Amino acid sequence: MTELLRAEHISKRFGPVTALRDVSLRLGRGEVLGLIGDNGAGKSTLIKTLCGFHRPDSGRIVVDGEETTLRSVGHARSLGIDTVYQDLALVDQLSVYHNMFLNREVVRWPFLRNRAMRKLARQHLDEIGVDIPDVTVEVARLSGGQRQAIAVARSVYSARRVLLLDEPLAAMGAKEGAQILDLIADLKARGDIAMILIVHNYAQVLDVCDRVNLLQHGTITFDKPTAETSLDELTDLVVSEYRRRRATGTGGR
Ligand SMILES: Nc1ncnc2c1ncn2[C@@H]1O[C@H](COP(=O)(O)OP(=O)(O)OP(=O)(O)O)[C@@H](O)[C@H]1O
Ligand SMILES: [Mg+2]
């Protein structure tokens, strides 16, 4: 499998907090990697390091075979790395369709006009099947799940190599969540895009991911194809770790 993204020995501190200690992972073309771990384990920090938002304190990032210093989110996007953030990053005062093309109009659609953007936004949202009646409405007036759908839709349609999805299902109802999972499966079926998907629901991880990595104590402690693991194993891994820490009095929430 062609490797599209590799991280080697990444570390990242925020003052006294070590969010990432020594993280190495690899991502193949067409692959969906599930990233799991407790709250505060460093998952979002890792995603934000791989998309150029945070500069790692140490370690290497290799994009499609080339070692790269990601200078900014825009730089990563120009290399085909797109991100759906946990904290969304939509602009409240802009319309749905303007948000869908935010920072993307120049990259992908240099000559697009408003009318064409409205039409494309409508078309993309209809394809996903998420119900947003009016794409000219300000995003501030939408529900949490609708906002998340827009964030996912715009990245799904602009991703060229790597798509990083940080809890894209968190605010979704059951139907909309299933639609987003279908969308991820469709994108995977295209075969040329690699994805990292952060989801807390292990059944969903097993459903759509090819491989699963567990982030604990700032490093990857478990890496297996989903075909070789199970709901029980994943749950045990996380819960037994918590029980052990509790029993030995070394932390635990
Ligand atoms: N910008 C920041 N400044 C300071 N500390 C931060 C910053 N971002 C993250 N942290 C800290 O780094 C650690 C990892 O946070 P991160 O958001 O990566 O966790 P996570 O695995 O995504 O958790 P969750 O499942 O709750 O989303 C936490 O202790 C957090 O407080
Ligand atoms: Mg997070």
Tens digit of each residue's pLDDT (9 = 90 or more) over 169-197: 887 778 878 878 888 888 898 888 999 99
Closest CA to 179 of 206, 159, 208: 208
Closest CA to 144 of 87, 100, 94, 105: 87
Q: Give the tens place of pLDDT for each residue, 74-94.
A: 899 899 999 888 776 677 778
CA distance 101 to 230: 39
- Please, are residues 41 and 215 in contact by the beta-carbon 8 Å criterion? yes
**pLDDT band for position 253 (cuts 50, 70, 90):** very low
Q: Is 250 exposed, middle or buried (0-12, 13-18, 19+ CB in 10 A)?
A: exposed
Higher pLDDT, 11 or 134: 11
Give the CATH number, domain containing residue 189: 3.40.50.300
Is 185 contained in some domain? yes
- Cα angle value 4/7/12 (rounded, 5°): 145
Is 103 contained in some domain? no
Q: Give the tens place of pLDDT for each residue, 102-127.
A: 766 544 555 567 788 888 888 888 87
Q: Give the tens place of pLDDT for each residue, 146-164.
A: 888 888 888 877 778 999 9
Residue 95 gets which letter from DSSP?
Answer: B
Is 127 contained in some domain? no
Is 104 contained in some domain? no
CA distance 126 to 114: 18
pLDDT at 20: 97
Place of tokens 């953030």: 85
- Cα angle value 94/98/99 (rounded, 5°): 75
* Secondary structure (3-state) at 156: helix
Helices 114-128 and 174-190: crossing angle, nearest 10°?
100
Q: Does the structure show a pLDDT above 70 at 251?
A: no
Interacting residues of 94 by C-beta distance below 8 A, sequence separation 6+:
102, 138, 139
CA distance 144 to 125: 16
Q: Which two tokens stand for residue 46?
A: 């890792």
Residue 146 Cβ < 6 Å to ligand 1: no
Closest ligand 1 atom, residue 167 Cα: 27
Point out the ligand nearest to the CA of residue 84.
2
pLDDT at 27: 97
Mean pLDDT of 194-220: 94
Residue 14 Cβ < 6 Å to ligand 1: yes
Q: Give the tens place of pLDDT for each residue, 27-65.
A: 999 999 999 999 999 999 999 999 999 999 999 999 999
Q: Does the structure show a pLDDT above 60 at 219?
A: yes
pLDDT at 104: 63
Is 32 contained in some domain? yes
Is 98 contained in some domain? no
Residue 41 Cβ < 6 Å to ligand 1: yes
Is 197 contained in some domain? yes
Residue 16 Cβ < 6 Å to ligand 1: no
Closest ligand 1 atom, residue 41 Cα: 21
Closest ligand 1 atom, residue 38 Cα: 25
Residue 104 Cβ < 6 Å to ligand 1: no
What is this structure's pTM? 0.87
- Cα angle value 148/149/151 (rounded, 5°): 65
Amino acid at 63: V
Domain of residue 71 covers: 3-91+159-248
Mean pLDDT of 200-216: 94
pLDDT at 152: 82
Is 31 contained in some domain? yes
Residue 117 CA to chain centroid, in angstroms? 24
What's the chain's average pLDDT?
87
pLDDT at 91: 77
CA–centroid distance, 111 to ligand 1, in Å, is 39
What total of structural domains would you count in the chain? 1
